Chain A
Amino acid sequence: MTNMDQVLNPEHAVSQREELDAAVVRFAGDSGDGMQLTGGQFTQATALAGNDLSTFPDFPAEIRAPVGTTFGVSSFQINFGARRIMTAGDNFDVLVAMNPAALKVELTRLRKGGLLIVDTGTFNERNFAKAGFSVNPLEDGTVAPYRVVAMDISAMTMEAVKDFDVSKKEALRCKNMWALGFVYWLFGRSRQATQAWLTGKFASNPDIADANIAAMNAGHAMAETAELPDGLKGFHVAPADIPAGLYRTVTGTEALAWGLANGAELAALEILFASYPITPASPLLHSLAKLQHLGISTFQAEDEIAAACAAIGASFAGTLGITSSSGPGIALKGEAIGLALSCELPLVIVNSQRGGPSTGLPTKTEQSDLYQAVYGRNGDSPLVVLATRSAADCFEVGIEAVRLATKYMTPVMLLTDGYIANAAEPWRIPDLDSYVPFPVSFHTDTEGFQPFLRDDDTLARVWAIPGTPDLMHRIGGIERDYDTGHISYDPDNHQRMTKVRAAKIDGIADDIPPQTVELGPETGKLAVVGWGSTYGPINRAVDNVNAQGKDVAHIHIRNIWPLPKNLGDLLAGYERVLIPEMNNGQLITLLRAEYLVDAQGLNKISGQPFKITEIEDAILEIVGE
């Protein structure tokens, strides 16, 4: 083999690389170090290399926390592999720590023997003090259990970009691309897509683009030539066996925006999306604001209440109103949502859940708004609640929310969370022509008209919109007469109306798919029941224990309200039911109340997603080692 062979055929190098089935990489640095961009680029390159993947951006609430502090650490985690990837991973195989604070925050989750890459250019007394180290952690045995690559990335970045017309500050900011270049080599990734991205992003400032590219190339070259610990020659992760098709990466926010847009198209409606900025829901407003050419208007209202009200006003006038927020904002919208359900107008409410109560943990993930979604309004006020399980799933759930809202003239609460909103995964681009349209037909018939005329089957009322000749009518939040739609304080009528509002929502159980079992047996010793973004860790945990000879089932609920018709019977077929939730036990209350099932909870309320091992341990405790 000649040297020329090696240059022309990089596959030769593969054989020397350490073969991995899957890997978890975490980029960690200061908020201003560009770790989210770095992670995003690595995600793109990894997807293009054919791995399955899942990501977890983990950033602080502060926009620019004081430099060098532990609470200013911003991290991006990616799990990728040659097999199906269900979560962003538990412990890391590679940790990139751009400063001592990042090392302090992240090191405990680097697996023993994992690769630690640090920028020694930031390892000085000042930063040690800020991070809470009394001595240099690289010298006191702290990093002994790991394979360490300690380099002055800052200095090498400055050197690499010195020929470009950029300020010192701009030059130093290229160090994330240096680190990315290094990690690209480690995993044999192509730099092409990132190079193209940098060129486009800094089109108006080519020197900055070139400096970043040079930094990336320098990092890449360093990895190729440096002596890595234990004679490491990088890693190789084979492409995953994933279904054929055209793919792209998608975040939960993007998929949800597109799902809602597609839903509206299938319903033959335009959208008014009215929202108020709140973490972590705002990105949905940003995503939809880019889709105005698809008949979507976005309205940044003066507050959460106005956002809900404007959306409902739009629905009254024949456009689909959608509003979105996180828990505190949903609380403010409660009264308006009650009006929408009592007036029986379609409305989609997206809740990107975050840690609560009150302001809680705005940037951390939790699924603790299930009670709020199902029960959180005055009066008997049922509505539809759906929960999405992953970034890609947001597309389908977005469509379903629009379908149910318009078909049944009801608010639909769509529960997602901060983790799903920001997480990215490869997504097979669906064939939009394969979706069956469900066009809305506005009521125009004057014969026997009253605004609360109901469909015999769905119990949905007619949707007669302003602008329609001779159907003028008045609706409002006061109880209305079942037969005429006029204001009514009649006791029997209120009982009847309350019952019909409940029956309409209950009846939707006939129009949703029956509950299926994701993994494992249809009856048996144990079912692990989840909802929302716990899908990944539960699924992998159940898969892992079943691979060890257990026979455990995973059931994941999308339709939180009404629940699927067969769910009670299905759960009754298991001796034990375990419900992992990122809250203090909410779905468990619902299922106990509905089915008298003696379920057991597994509750993680730390603002962090479940680790697979945490669920595995809980399963094994029940079914035995």
Chain B
Amino acid sequence: MNDLAPAKRTAKDFATDQEVRWCPGCGDYAILRAMQKTLADIEADPANTVFVSGIGCAARFPYYIETYGFHTIHGRAPAFATGVKLANPELDVWVVGGDGDMLSIGGNHLMHVIRRNVDVQVLLFNNEIYGLTKGQASPTSRAGTRSPSTPLGSIDSPVSACVYAMGAGARFIARGIDNQQKVLPDIFKRAHAHKGASFVEILQNCIVYNDGVFANVTEKSVAAERQVVCTHGAPLVFGADGNKGLALDSATLQLKVVDVGSDGPAAAGVLVHDETNPVLAGMLAAMQDDVLPVAIGVIYCDPKPSYDEGMAHLKAEAKNRAGGADLKDLLHHGHTWTVE
């Protein structure tokens, strides 16, 4: 056995010496655990990995991961991450933020990092509330949410994170749940493997200000009925025994729930998940009401060239065209004259 081979890093090796300061029971702990496991599993090089965050509870994430980290300002993490990636495309860049950070103050930057397709992984911890500022309604809070800033209930309509990402032209969209420790690392691995901007929404429970907001989706008693796990090439079935499926209602051009009979999903008209199909992805991302289940897993994945690749290409082309010309050549180019 080769003694010089470095020991494979474990999830623990990606923990820092800093005391984690989230509230006890916060969903962020579970996400952190899933990420540390992911980094160990993909054998990430800590020196080449950067976590960039904005402001909020979620944005404390980088302090707890033994990689490079940059805790920036409210809403702007995608812009900082873009600068990091353009400066050094070799770095593996993760962006972390909450729903207020990424969809309110930073909604603009989220849109642009996605539509440019900068090769970073964007993780949006959605708890439908402002935690760090003590519980105000957020842009993902459901209409009627009572909070210190909306004592009579909020009157604005929430934005769906995945639908927003779809609209911004995302080429990778996934959704996970904080406490699904088996599923979440796989989603992170897929996001990591995707070249270009990967967008992952994580339904995250805020135990203090919005406890149980996703209970009707995540509770064990309802999970099977309320979640459909999207697997590329597999039928979109759910329910306790896989007895339900998603089919297209050709009259309304909407998804509907059908019973899977004894002849199997195909006979029942259940759709097979094609993660490269943007129309299907749009419908899956939008499922949020009580009639249809919530889509979990990789909803959409259809890579196209990334922005950083494009920029590297332009730079190489510019160098090529200049044929070795330097600044000195530039200063002497064009009209010059000599004064004796």
CB distance from A319 to the nearest CB of B (A): 4
Interface size on A, residues (CB 8 A): 68
Given known pairs A258-B330, A297-B311, the reply for A477 and B73 (CB within 8 Å) is yes
How near does chain B come to A296, taking the closest CB pair, in angstroms? 9
In the bound complex, how far is the Cα of B82 from the Cα of A321, in angstroms?
12
Let me know if B98 is at the binding interface, CB within 8 A: no
Contact A476 B72 (CB under 8 A): yes
**Does A505 interact with chain B (Cβ within 8 Å)?**
no
Q: Which residues of B contact A249 (CB under 8 A)?
A: 335
Q: Which of B62, B69, B322, B338 counts the most chain A CB atoms within 10 A? A: B69
Q: How far is the CA of A305 from the CA of B107 in the complex (A)?
A: 13
Within 8 A of A (CB), among B52-88: 52, 62-63, 66-73, 76, 78-88
Q: Does A547 contact B (CB under 8 A)?
A: no
Cβ–Cβ < 8 Å partners of B79 in chain A: 301-302, 305-307, 309-310, 313
Within 8 A of B (CB), among A459-486: 465-478, 486
Rounded to whole Å, the gap between the CB of B192 and the closest CB of chain A is 16
Q: Which residues of A contact B321 (CB under 8 A)?
A: 293
* A474-B69 contact in complex given A310-B86, A317-B84, C-beta closer than 8 Å: yes
Q: Verify if B180 is at the interface (C-beta below 8 Å from A).
A: no
Pick the most buried of B52, B78, B336: most chain A CB atoms within 10 A of its CB: B336
Whether B338 lies near A473 (C-beta < 8 A) is: no
Taking the nearest CB of chain B, how far is it from the CB of A477, in angstroms? 6
CB of B182 within 8 A of chain A?
Answer: no
Q: Does B319 contact A (CB under 8 A)?
A: yes
Residue contact A292 to B84, C-beta cutoff 8 Å: no
Tell me, yes or no, whether A133 is within 8 Å of chain B by CB.
no
Closest B residue to A250 using CB positions: B331
Residue A44 at the chain B interface, CB threshold 8 Å:
yes
**Residues in B whose Cβ lies below 8 Å from that of A428:** 339
A118 to chain B, nearest CB (A): 30
A272 close to B86 (CB less than 8 A): yes
Contact in complex: B339, A317 (CB < 8 Å): no
Q: Could you mark each residue 231-259 of chain A with 1 if its beta carbon is under 8 Å from any beta carbon of chain B, else 0?
A: 00000000000111111110000000010
Identity of the chain A residue whose Cβ is nearest the Cβ of B326 in the assembled complex = A294
Q: Is B314 on the interface with A (CB-CB < 8 A)?
A: yes
A45–B50 alpha-carbon span in the complex (Å): 54
Q: Is B332 an interface residue (CB 8 A)?
A: yes
Asked if A248 meets B334 with Cβ closer than 8 Å, knowing A274-B83, A432-B328, the reply is yes
Which residues from chain B contact A274 at a C-beta distance below 8 Å? 83
**Known contacts A246-B332, A248-B334, A321-B83; A297/B73 CB under 8 A:** no
Whether, in the assembled complex, B91 has its beta carbon less than 8 Å from a beta carbon of chain A, the answer is: yes
Contact A313 B46 (CB under 8 A): no
Q: How far is the CA of A477 from the CA of B67 in the complex (A)?
A: 18
Contact of B87 with A318 in the complex, beta carbons under 8 Å: yes
Q: Is the CB of B63 within 8 A of A474?
A: yes
Q: Once the chains are docked, how many angstroms separate the CA of A291 from the CA of B336?
A: 20
Contact A44 B76 (CB under 8 A): no
**A292–B314 CB distance below 8 A:** yes
Residues of B within 8 A of A465 (CB): 88
Residue of A nearest to B69 (CB): A474
> Once the chains are docked, how many angstroms separate the CA of A478 from the CA of B325?
44
Query: Is B3 engaged at the interface, CB distance under 8 Å to the other chain?
Result: no
B338 touches A247 (CB 8 A): yes
**A297 close to B338 (CB less than 8 A):** no
Check B69 against A309 for contact (C-beta < 8 Å).
Answer: no
Chain A residues near B314 (CB-CB < 8 A)? 292
B69 touching A336, Cβ below 8 Å? no
Given the known inter-chain contacts A246-B332, A293-B322, A432-B327, please indicate yes or no for A316 contacting B47, CB distance below 8 A: no
B70 touches A474 (CB 8 A): yes
Interface residues of B in 282-340 (CB under 8 A from A): 311, 314-315, 318-319, 321-322, 325-328, 330-332, 334-340
Are B88 and A261 in contact, with the CB atoms below 8 A? no
In the complex, whether A299 has a CB less than 8 A from a CB of chain B is: yes
A478: chain B residues within 8 A (beta carbon)? 71
A306 touches B86 (CB 8 A): no
User: Nearest-CB distance from B70 to chain A (Å)?
Assistant: 5
Known contacts A432-B331, A475-B71, A317 near B336 by CB under 8 Å = no
Residues of B with C-beta under 8 A to A486: 18
B62 contact set on A, CB distance < 8 A: 474, 476
Tell me the residues in window 287-327 of chain A with beta carbons closer than 8 Å to chain B beta carbons: 291-295, 297, 299, 301-303, 305-307, 309-319, 321
Residues in A whose Cβ lies below 8 Å from that of B78 = 306
A292 contacts B47, CB within 8 Å? no
Q: Tell me whether A316 and B338 are in contact (CB under 8 A).
A: no
Chain B residues near A468 (CB-CB < 8 A): 47
Is there a chain B Cβ closer than 8 Å to A47's Cβ?
yes
Rounded to whole angstroms, the CA-CA distance of A552 and B51 in the bound complex is 58
CB B295 to nearest CB in A, in angstroms, measures 29
Distance of B187 from chain A, by nearest CB (Å): 24
Q: Is the CB of B76 within 8 A of A336?
A: yes
Which residues of B are found within 8 Å of A302, using beta-carbon distances?
Answer: 79, 108-109, 111-112
Contacts of B216 in A (CB 8 A): none
Determine whether B90 belongs to the interface, using a CB cutoff of 8 Å to chain A: yes
Determine the distance from Cα of A50 to Cα of B340 in the docked complex, in whole angstroms.
10
Verify A316–B16 contact, CB threshold 8 A.
Answer: no
* A317–B48 alpha-carbon span in the complex (Å): 11
* Closest A residue, CB atoms, query B75: A305
A339 within 8 A of partner (CB): yes
* Interface status of A48 (Cβ within 8 A of chain B): yes
Q: Is the CB of A466 within 8 A of B331?
A: no
Contacts of A246 in B (CB 8 A): 332, 336-338
Asked if A272 contacts B71 (CB within 8 A), the reply is: no
Contacts of A54 in B (CB 8 A): none
Q: Is A471's CB under 8 angstroms from B86's CB?
A: no
* A257-280 Cβ-contact flags toward B at 8 Å (1 or 0): 010011001000010101000000
Query: Would A314 and B63 count as touching, CB distance under 8 A?
Result: no
- A469, B48: Cα distance in complex, Å: 8
Min distance, Cβ B225 to any Cβ of chain A, angstroms: 41
Tell me if A313 and B109 are in contact (CB < 8 A).
no
Q: Is the CB of B73 within 8 A of A339?
A: yes
Residue of B nearest to A193 (CB): B335
Q: Is the CB of B336 within 8 A of A310?
A: no
Interchain residue pairs with CB less than 8 A apart (20): A47-B335, A247-B336, A247-B338, A247-B339, A249-B335, A294-B330, A301-B79, A305-B79, A306-B76, A306-B79, A309-B72, A319-B87, A321-B87, A432-B328, A466-B91, A470-B47, A471-B47, A472-B67, A472-B69, A474-B68
Q: Considering the complex of A and B, which 3 residue pairs feature the smallest CB-CB distances, nearest first?
A: A313-B83, A476-B71, A293-B322
A292-B318, A486-B18 known, 14 other contacts, Cβ within 8 Å: A243-B339, A292-B319, A301-B79, A302-B111, A311-B83, A313-B72, A313-B87, A315-B83, A318-B88, A319-B86, A430-B331, A466-B49, A476-B62, A476-B63
